[in-house]
Structure 1
Amino acid sequence: MSTHHTHRDLHSEQGARPGDHPGRAANPVIKVEDLAWLELEKPDLDRAEAFAHAFGFATAARSADELHLRGAFAGAPSVIIRRGARSRYAGAAFRAADDADVLRLADATGARVGRLPESIGGIVVDLEAPDGAGVRVVSGMDELPALATQAAHTFNAGGDVRRANATQRPPRAPAVIERLGHVVLQSNRYLESLDWYLQHLGLIVSDFQYFEGQRDRGPTMSFIRCDRGSQPADHHTLAMALGPRNRYVHSAYQVADLDALAAGGEHLREKGYFRSWGIGRHIQGSQIFDYWRDPDGFLVEHFTDGDMFDNTLEPGWAPMTASGLAQWGPPVSKDFLGVKPGRESLLELRSMVTALRSDDNEFDLPRLRGLLKVATS
C-alpha cells in the first residue's frame, strides 16, 4: 500500500516524527464500514421530536418510549432516543461489513452476539471501550428507503455562467438531514481508548492534535476515520479528546450545501433555538459547520463539504488551539468550548479536581495546564 507522507496543503501543518503514534493498528480484529447510529436517553420525547424536525430529521419510528430519527439517505436510523429519567448519551453503533465480522469480533472479545429489535433487523455485539463508552457493532439491518433530498444549488462562479435567466431562492425551512457523519467524545483514558478502537474496529487516524509544548507526551485529540481501503471515507467518523471526564461532546449530520445549512439555521433561529457557534469552515475535516443546542443541552452540528480520505493518507499532527478550529467564521464561542458559566462548565470544573486526585486516568496537572491554554490560544 502506498501512502501519502506529506501534509503540506492537505489537512495538517506537519506529519509524524519518529516514535509518534502510528494512528492505526497493525492487525485489527475487523474494519467497520461506518457509524450506524447514536443512542440517547431523554425524558421528553415530544420535545426531542419537535427539535429534531426543526433540525431536519424525519421520524422513522415512534412509540411511547422510543423515537427513531433518520436522514434522507437509505439505511438505518441516525439517532435512537429512548425515554429516560435524565438526558444522557448511551453509546454509538458502528456498521460492520457483514455478519461474519460481528461474529469474529464477538469471538475475539468473548462477547455474546444478539439480535436487534425487529423494527431494525440484524445482529449486534455489545462492547465497552476502556473509558466506559458504549460501543455496538451491527450488521444485517433492514434498509430504510431513501427519502427526498434537497438539490444542491447551481452557482455562477467568476466567468463561468451556469445559471442564466433563473434566480436563487433557498427556502427558509429545515435543512434536510442526509446522514449521520460523526460523533465527538471526551475521554479521561484517551490513549487507552484510542488504541482499543483502532485494534477492535480497524479505525485509522486522519489527524492528531497535542497540547502546545507537550508534543513529546503524545496526542491529546484524534480525528479517526473508517478504513475502507481505496474507497474514500469521512475525515472523521469518531473524534476523541483527552479531558477530565468521559462525556459526549457533539455529533454531526450532513446537509446538501451551504444554502441548505444557512437557511436551515435561520429556520432554527426563528423557532427560538440556540446557535452555539457558526457558520464557519473547519480546518481538520474542512467541513462548513453550524452548531446548535437542542432543548436537552446536546450539541449537534449541520455540516456540508467535508474531506474524504482513502487509507493511503498518514496522520497529520498539529497543536490543539481554539483559533485552529476554523479557517473562517466567527470567533469560537464559550458555549462551544464548554467554558460558558453554567451547569456543564461546573461539572467539568468538579471533574478536573476528581481526575487530578485519582491515578486511574490520563489527566494530570500538566495536561490540565495544556487544556486551559486551549481556550485562549
Structure 2
Amino acid sequence: MANRRDPHAGLHSEQGALRGEHPGRVTNPIVKVHDVAWLEFEKPDLRRAEVFAHAFGFETSLRTSDELQLRGTDPGAPCVLIRRGSRSRFLGPAFLAADANDVLRLANATGRTVAALPESLGGVAVDLTDPSGLRVRVVSDTHRLPALPPQEPLVLNAGHDLARTNATQRPPREPAKVQRLGHVVLQTTTYRATLDWYLAHLGLIVSDFLFHSGQRARGPVMSFIRCDRGSTPTDHHTLAMTLGPTNRYVHSAYQVADFDALAAGGEHLLDAGYHRSWGIGRHIQGSQIFDYWRDPDGFLVEHFTDGDLFDCTLEPGWAPMTASGLAQWGPPATKDFMGIAPGRESLRELRGVFAALRDDNEFDLHRLRGLLKVASS
C-alpha cells in the first residue's frame, strides 16, 4: 500500500489527505449502490421538454399525457423521468442497488417501506430523505430496455498512428446520441452531514475533495463521489456535492460517443436556438470533455465524453476550488454556469445567502468569502 504510486500526485491535485482529514469513505456502509439509475423532474410543458430532449440526443421510451420517460442508447432503465407539474422542479435521483435484498436492507435500517414501482419501470424501491431534504430513491429489478443503435465513434489518425486512409471525416451536424446518464451535481447548505449520509447509506466513496483557498483547515466544500464496485472501474463521479447557500440541483451529465459527436451535436443545438452555458472544454476532476446547455426550463445539462474511471483502490485527491481550476482547457467558466449571471437563478441564490447566514447550517461568513473568491479566481 505504501509503495503504490499516488495517482493524484500531479499537476492538478495535491498529494492527498493530511492527517485527520476526511477519509472519503466509511468502513461499513449499509449497502453499496452500483450506479445512478435515473433523475426525476416535474415540468409544466412536456411537449417543450420532449422537443429539447430530442435535440439534446435522448430518445422517448414512454409518453403519456402526464409523464415523459427519456432514454439513451445503452440498455437499462430510462435516464430521465419527467412528470407534468404546475412548476419546474427537480424531485430527486434514483440509484441502482445490487439486488432487492439491498433495497430491503436499506428499508430496515432506516425504518422505511419497500414499494413496487409503476409497471412502466418495474422493480421495487425504497424512498429515503438526505439531510438536505432531498428525496433519494434506491431501486432494483427494474425493466431493462433493449439497446438502441449507437452513434459510432470516428476512426481517428492520432499523430503517426494511422488508422484511416483513403477516407474523409464528415461528422453530420445532428443530435449527439445520449448513451447513458453519468452523474448529477447537487448543492447543499449541510455539505458535511449530507456527504457523510451518502457514504454511510449508499456506500459511495470520494474521488476528489475541493476546499476554499486559505480554508483547508475548515474542511472540504465540494466532493466528487463514485460508486464502490471493488475492482470494477466506475465513473470518477456519479454524484458531486458542493456547499452553497441553497439546497438545489446544479446539473446532470450524459455520455456521448466521442468529441465529434459532442461538438457536432452542439452545433445542432445552436442551430435550433438553444443556449450554450459553457464549453467546449476538458475538466480537471474527472477529465471529461464537456459542453453545458440550458434547457427551456432553466435546468443545466451536460454532454460529456472520455471521463476517468477509478476502482476502489484510489484514495481521494485534494485541491483548492477555483473557477480557473474547473477546466484544463477551454473558454473561461461563464457567469451563467457559475450561477451569477443576472436573472432568476442568481436572485434566488442571493436571497438564499441571506437566509443561510441567518439559519443554523454550514454556510457562514467564512464560507461566503471563500465562495466569492472562487468566482473571481
TM-score by length of structure 2 reads 0.98
Once the two structures are superposed, the pairs formed by residues 83-102 of structure 1 within 5 Å of their partners are 83-102=84-103
1:4 offset after TM fit, Å? 5.7
How far the C-alpha of 1:61 sits from its partner, in A, is 0.3
Contact 1:223 1:239 in 2 (8 A): yes
1:120-149 deviations in Å (ceiling 9; x for gaps):
100000000000111000000010000011
Displacement, 1:116? 0.4
The corresponding residue for 2:329 is 328
Q: CA deviation at 1:11?
A: 6.3
Q: Distance in 1 between matches of 2:7 and 2:180?
A: 31
**CA 1:89/1:65 → structure 2, altered by over 3 Å: closer, same or farther?**
same
Counterpart position of 2:60: 59
- 1:180 aligns with 181
**In 2 relative to 1, CA 11–126 (structure 1 residues): closer, same or farther, beyond 3 Å?**
farther
1:196-235 counterparts in 2 under 5 A?
196-235=197-236
Q: Distance in 2 between matches of 1:161 and 1:182?
A: 34
**Structure 2 counterpart of 1:71:** 72
| SS of structure 1 residue aligned to 2:296 | coil
Two-structure CA RMSD over aligned residues (Å): 1.1
The answer for the alignment partner of 1:274 in structure 2 is 275
Letter in 1 for 2:272: K
Hey, which bits of structure 1, 4+ residues long, moved more than 2 A?
1-6, 9-14
Counterpart of 2:372? Answer: 372
CA distance in 2, matches of 1:367, 1:215: 11
Amino acid at match of 2:374: V
TM-score, length-normalised on structure 1?
0.98
Q: How far does residue 157 in structure 1 lie from its aligned partner after superposition?
A: 1.6
Q: Distance in 2 between matches of 1:234 and 1:158?
A: 28
Shift, 1:160, TM fit: 1.6
Indicate if the aligned counterparts of 2:6 and 2:15 stay in contact, CA closer than 8 A.
no
Shift of 1:186: 0.2
Give the 5 Å matches for 1:1-377: 5-9=6-10, 12-359=13-360, 361-377=361-377
CA contact (8 A) 1:208 1:318 kept: yes
Deviation at 1:336, TM superposition (A): 0.2
Give the SS at the match of 1:20: coil
Q: State the secondary structure of the residue aligned to 2:52.
A: helix
CA distance in 2, matches of 1:291, 1:4: 34
Query: How far apart are the structure 2 equivalents of 1:200 and 1:259?
Result: 39
d(CA) in 2 for partners of 1:309, 1:343: 37
Rounded Cα–Cα distance in structure 2 between residues aligned with 1:23 and 1:84 = 37
Unaligned runs of 5+ residues in structure 2 are none
Q: How many angstroms apart in 2 are the aligned matches of 1:134 and 1:96?
A: 16
What do the CA deviations read for 1:269-301 (whole angstroms, capped 9, x no partner)? 000000000000000000000000000000000
Task: Describe the superposition over 1:191-244 as per-residue Cα deviations: whole angstroms up to 9, x where unpaired.
Answer: 000000000000000000000010000000000000000000000000000001
Gaps of 5+ in 1: none
CA distance in 1 between partners of 2:255 and 2:31 (Å):
26
Q: How far off its partner does 1:154 sit?
A: 0.8
Distance 2:345 2:244 in 1: 13
Q: Is the 1:32–1:96 Cα contact (8 Å) retained in structure 2?
A: yes
Letter in 1 for 2:49: A
Paired amino acid for 1:375? A
Cα 1:11–1:60 change in 2 (3 A) is farther
Tell me the SS of whatever aligns to 2:14. Answer: coil
Q: Number of aligned residue pairs: give it.
A: 376
Aligned-pair distance for 1:10?
8.2
The residue type paired with residue 375 of structure 2 is A
How many Å apart are 1:9 and its aligned residue? 3.2
Structure 2: how far apart are the matches of 1:283 and 1:207?
10
SS at match of 1:102: helix
How far residue 314 of structure 1 moved from its aligned partner, in angstroms, is 0.1
String of CA shifts for 1:327-372, please: whole Å, max 9, x gaps. 000111000000001110011001000010112x110000000011
Instruction: Give the counterpart letter for 1:295 in structure 2.
Output: P
1:207/1:27 CA distance change after superposition, 3 Å: same
Checking the alignment, whether the CA contact within 8 Å between 2:12 and 2:319 is kept in structure 1 is no
